[in-house]
A and B are shown apart, each in its own frame.
Chain A
Amino acid sequence: MFGIAKTADSAADFLKEFGIAEEHLSENLKMLAQTNSRYLRDVKINVNNSLQAVTLVKKEAYLIALAVSVNEKNEALKQAFIASARVEGATDEELAEVISCTSLLSANNVYYRFRHFMKDEYYTNAQAGIRMSIMANPVLGKEFFELMSLVVSALNGCELCVTSHEKALLGHATNKQRIHDAVRLGAVIRSLSVLF
Chain B
Amino acid sequence: MKNVVLSIGSQFPDFNKKAVVSTEKGKEFYDLTGQEIRASGKWMVMFWWPKDFTFVCPTEIAEFNNHYQDFEDRDAILIGASTDSEFVHAAWRRDHEDLRGLKFPMLADTSKTLAEELGILEANEKVAYRATFIVDPEGVIRWVSLYDLNVGRNVKEVLRVLDALQTDELCPCNWQKGEATLVA
A: residues with CB less than 8 A from B are 1-5, 7-8, 41, 44-45, 49
B40 touches A1 (CB 8 A): yes
Q: A45-B163, A49-B163 are in contact. Are A3 and B72 (CB under 8 A)?
A: no
Q: How far is the CB of A55 from chain B (nearest CB, A)?
A: 14
Q: How far is the CB of A44 from chain B (nearest CB, A)?
A: 6
Most chain A CB atoms below 10 A, which of B32, B40, B72, B74: B72
Which of B2-10, B19-27, B52-60, B121-129 is near enough to bind chain A? B19-27
B73 touches A3 (CB 8 A): no
In the complex, residue of chain B having the shortest beta-carbon distance to the beta carbon of A48: B70
Q: How far is the CB of A36 from chain B (nearest CB, A)?
A: 12
Q: How far is the CB of A185 from chain B (nearest CB, A)?
A: 15
Most chain B CB atoms below 10 A, which of A2, A5, A49: A2
Q: How far is the CB of B3 from chain A (nearest CB, A)?
A: 30
B: residues with CB less than 8 A from A are 19, 21-22, 27, 30, 32, 36, 40, 68-70, 72-74, 77, 103-105, 163
In the complex, residue of chain A having the shortest beta-carbon distance to the beta carbon of B33: A2
Some 17 contacts from A to B, beta carbons below 8 A apart, are A1-B40, A1-B77, A2-B30, A2-B32, A2-B36, A3-B21, A3-B27, A4-B21, A5-B68, A5-B103, A7-B68, A7-B72, A8-B69, A41-B73, A45-B70, A45-B163, A49-B163
A3 touches B163 (CB 8 A): no
Chain A residues near B68 (CB-CB < 8 A)? 5, 7
B74 touches A3 (CB 8 A): no
In the complex, residue of chain B having the shortest beta-carbon distance to the beta carbon of A8: B69
Cα distance A2–B103 in the bound complex, in angstroms = 10
